[in-house]
């Protein structure tokens, strides 16, 4: 086990290089199962969830090797369609192999992901939509047993709710279906556009016909693409907030500012000074942080994956604020820990009321989920003294070299084995 020791409260100054996106990498790795040849992926982040997905693909018969920061996946002998609970339980994105396995083999047995700290995390939207493509499934002892007796047959599908994972699963499955599939009420997160860019390079025929509608013509020929994963917009947003709360001056590199317009607008509203160039953002934090009322929403709304982080900033605002979590049913696990550091946040259903003018005090803390963990690091960076954050394996699921990146811009932070 490891923990982080964080000694506040330096102003962060310097440059941070953003890594590849975890949430773009996971569906693209799953989609490589469509191929029976080689696929070359660049800029994958070195985080735990990627290792877990690679282990899952290897358990399905993929031959995978790293060459510097590039990954070569050879599926010429990939022949298994059973995704075990032991691998899927730690990373709910494991359900994303269901679509490609059905597309390739016409049958699959995939463990249900189970819940996690931020909610029950059902997959009913995935399964209902797959059944419209001709999939028959049963849930037996925590596994989805799915078959497509007549193969996948294209049709019109309207998602009953906006779901990133369900959109991704269906885009991948429909790419090999017979005929045309029209998906509507799709999620439009940038990671989905990156997935589509990859699938088109793979030889698939996919196009957006309106804001949330995608048209897919089934294909069966496959190329050997090379694809560079897009930047991690949530990592970028996290470090922007780090600069805002420490009155720092950071240059965030390897980003596309236009993709995180909402986050930039939000941080300007609270008083940060932000300047953008083609692939970088400079942010200067402001001593006087203005309050704000925020609600999370599907892209291009404010991302739920930055909700815990922005809450830290709003605790330091000059008046009270509120945050409404409209995506997940239990994503306030960080509140209790922040309140132990002196925050005064009260929860009423899916709404958090946040008292301003808080000075966080150092404390020993417990991480619970990926984004809650990083909010504790952010709060600890603002205190005068030493905080300890336990169970940082949650953090390592989605942030590459977080202590190295923060140390490089002046944070006093170290990883300790316990
Ligand atoms: C993706 O999760 C991301 N994960 C999440 O990031 C992100 O928070 C989420 O999208 C929303 O943006 C990956 O991309 C690997 P959803 P996903 O399906 O696909 C409910 C992180 O921190 N729902 O859009 O699971 C669901 O419970 C992670 O990097 C159903 O009810 O999210 C949630 O309340 C956390 N039935 C809402 O919809 C379903 O079949 C949105 O979920 C599917 C989802």
pLDDT in tens, 237-256: 999 999 999 999 999 999 99
pLDDT digits (tens, 9 = 90+) for 28-63: 999 999 999 999 999 999 999 999 999 999 999 999
Rounded average pLDDT over 369-374: 94
- Cα–Cα distance measured from residue 120 to residue 413, given in angstroms and rounded to the nearest whole number: 33
* Secondary structure class of 113 (helix, strand, coil): coil
Q: For residue 90, what pLDDT is reported?
A: 81
Residue 270 beta carbon below 6 angstroms from any ligand 1 atom: no
Q: For residue 67, what pLDDT is reported?
A: 80
Give the residue ranges of DSSP H helices in 270-359.
Answer: 307-315, 333-340
Q: What domains lie within the chain, and their CATH numbers?
A: 2-19+231-417 (3.65.10.10), 22-228 (3.65.10.10)
Q: pTM of this prediction?
A: 0.97
Residue 405 beta carbon below 6 angstroms from any ligand 1 atom: no
- Cα–Cα distance measured from residue 251 to residue 126, given in angstroms and rounded to the nearest whole number: 39
Residues 141 and 68 sit within 8 Å (Cβ to Cβ): no
Rounded average pLDDT over 3-14: 95
Burial of 253 (0-12, 13-18, 19+ CB in 10 A): middle
Q: For residue 91, what pLDDT is reported?
A: 87
Ligand 1 centre from 141 Cα, in Å? Answer: 23
Q: For residue 117, what pLDDT is reported?
A: 65
Helix (H) or strand (E) holding 406: helix 402-408
**Distance spanning both ends of the chain, measured CA to CA:** 6
Rounded average pLDDT over 274-289: 97
Q: What percent of the chain has pLDDT over 70?
A: 98
Residue 190 beta carbon below 6 angstroms from any ligand 1 atom: no
Known catalytic residue at 204:
no
pLDDT digits (tens, 9 = 90+) for 296-327: 999 999 999 999 999 999 999 999 999 999 99
Q: For residue 114, what pLDDT is reported?
A: 67
* pLDDT of 119 above 70: no
* pLDDT of 418 above 90: no
Q: How would residue 66 be classed by pLDDT, with cut points 50, 70 and 90?
A: confident
- Cα–Cα distance measured from residue 173 to residue 205, given in angstroms and rounded to the nearest whole number: 12
Rounded average pLDDT over 383-387: 96
Rounded average pLDDT over 364-368: 94
More confident residue, 26 or 66: 26
pLDDT digits (tens, 9 = 90+) for 80-112: 999 999 988 888 899 999 999 999 999 999 999
- The residue to mutate among 114, 230, 305, having the most atoms of ligand 1 within 8 angstroms of its beta carbon, is 305
| Average pLDDT over all residues of the chain | 96
Q: For residue 115, what pLDDT is reported?
A: 61
Residue 327 beta carbon below 6 angstroms from any ligand 1 atom: yes
Q: Which tokens go with 352?
A: 């958090």
| Token pair 């958090």: residue | 352
């Amino acid at each position: 086990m490891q923990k982080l020791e964080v000694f506040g409260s330096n102003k962060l100054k310097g440059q941070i290089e953003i890594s590849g996106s975890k949430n773009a990498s996971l569906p693209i790795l799953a989609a490589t199962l469509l191929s029976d040849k080689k696929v070359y992926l660049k800029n994958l982040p070195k985080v735990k969830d990627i290792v877990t997905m690679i282990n899952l693909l290897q358990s399905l018969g993929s031959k995978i090797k790293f060459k510097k920061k590039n990954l070569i996946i050879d599926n010429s002998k990939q022949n298994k369609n059973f995704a075990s609970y032991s691998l899927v339980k730690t990373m709910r994105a494991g359900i994303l192999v269901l679509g490609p396995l059905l597309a390739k083999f016409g049958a699959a047995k995939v463990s249900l992901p189970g819940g996690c700290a931020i909610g029950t995390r059902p997959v009913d939207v995935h399964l209902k939509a797959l059944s419209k493509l001709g999939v028959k499934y049963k849930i037996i002892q925590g596994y989805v047993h799915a078959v497509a007796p007549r193969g996948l047959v294209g049709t019109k599908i309207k998602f009953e709710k906006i779901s990133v994972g369900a959109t991704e699963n269906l885009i991948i499955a429909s790419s090999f279906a017979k005929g045309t599939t029209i998906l509507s009420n799709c999620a439009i997160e940038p990671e989905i556009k990156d997935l589509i860019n990859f699938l088109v390079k793979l030889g698939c025929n996919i196009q957006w016909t309106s804001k949330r509608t995608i048209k897919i013509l089934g294909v069966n020929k496959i190329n050997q693409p090379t694809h560079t994963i897009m930047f991690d917009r949530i990592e970028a947003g996290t470090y922007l907030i780090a600069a805002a709360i420490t009155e720092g001056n950071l240059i965030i590199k390897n980003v596309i500012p236009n993709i995180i317009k909402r986050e930039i607008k939000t941080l300007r509203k609270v008083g940060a000074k932000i300047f953008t160039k083609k692939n970088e953002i400079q942010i200067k934090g402001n001593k006087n942080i203005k309050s704000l009322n925020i609600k999370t929403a599907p892209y291009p709304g404010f991302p739920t994956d930055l909700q815990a982080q922005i809450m830290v900033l709003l605790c330091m605002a000059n008046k009270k604020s509120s945050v409404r979590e409209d995506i997940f049913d239990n994503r306030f696990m960080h509140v209790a820990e922040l309140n132990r550091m002196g925050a005064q946040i009260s929860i009423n259903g899916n709404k958090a009321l946040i008292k301003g003018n808080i000075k966080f005090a150092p404390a020993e803390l417990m991480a619970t989920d990926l984004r809650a963990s990083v909010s504790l690091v952010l709060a600890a960076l603002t205190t005068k003294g030493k905080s300890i954050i336990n169970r940082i394996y949650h953090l390592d699921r989605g942030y590459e070299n977080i202590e190295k990146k923060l140390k490089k811009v002046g944070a006093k932070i170290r990883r300790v084995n316990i």
